[in-house]
Amino acid sequence: DTGVSQNPRHKITKRGQNVTFRCDPISEHNRLYWYRQTLGQGPEFLTYFQNEAQLEKSRLLSDRFSAERPKGSFSTLEIQRTEQGDSAMYLCASSLGTGFLGSNQPQHFGDGTRLSIL
């Protein structure tokens, strides 16, 4: 399977603990996105990487959240000192293209990591 891969699929943790999720994009894709989706809602944008550079972060991404994409391949999203409100599905997507030429390129999503905070 050459699609977007996310691990783990599910994470259950106690409030206050740190968690880290991993995303492996489609290999030739230079763009990588993180989104968050709560039950019954559409996904909301969190952050964007072009190759290894993090070029945009949403205001939803508080200072407890950090994302990296070393070497422009896989990406990690870490949440420190988790809170109840962090419970959600965290989705990763990748696409190909740069600048305006990339605007019509579809984003391909992984199956997400579902985070539950006890």
Partner 1 sequence: TQLLEQSPQFLSIQEGENLTVYCNSSSVFSSLQWYRQEPGEGPVLLVTVVTGGEVKKLKRLTFQFGDARKDSSLHITAAQTGDTGLYLCAGVSPRGGATNKLIFGTGTLLAVQP
> Can you give the binding site for partner 1, defined by CB under 8 A?
4, 6, 31, 33, 35, 40-45, 48, 50, 55-56, 91, 93, 95, 97-100, 102-112, 114
> Rounded to the nearest whole angstrom, what is the least distance from the CB of residue 22 to partner 1 in the complex?
15
> Between residues 4 and 79, which has the closer beta carbon with respect to partner 1?
4
> Between residues 80 and 114, which has the closer beta carbon with respect to partner 1?
114
> Between residues 44 and 83, which has the closer beta carbon with respect to partner 1?
44
What span, in angstroms and rounded, lies between the C-alpha atoms of 21 and 92?
10
Structure tokens at 3: 């699609």
> Rounded to the nearest whole angstrom, what is the least distance from the CB of residue 91 to partner 1 in the complex?
6
Structure tokens at 105: 């390129």
Q: In this structure, what is the dihedral angle of CA atoms 37, 94, 75, 92, given to the nearest 10 degrees?
A: 10
> Rounded to the nearest whole angstrom, what is the least distance from the CB of residue 16 to partner 1 in the complex?
26
What span, in angstroms and rounded, lies between the C-alpha atoms of 69 and 75?
4
Structure tokens at 53: 């550079």
* β-pair partners for 116: 12
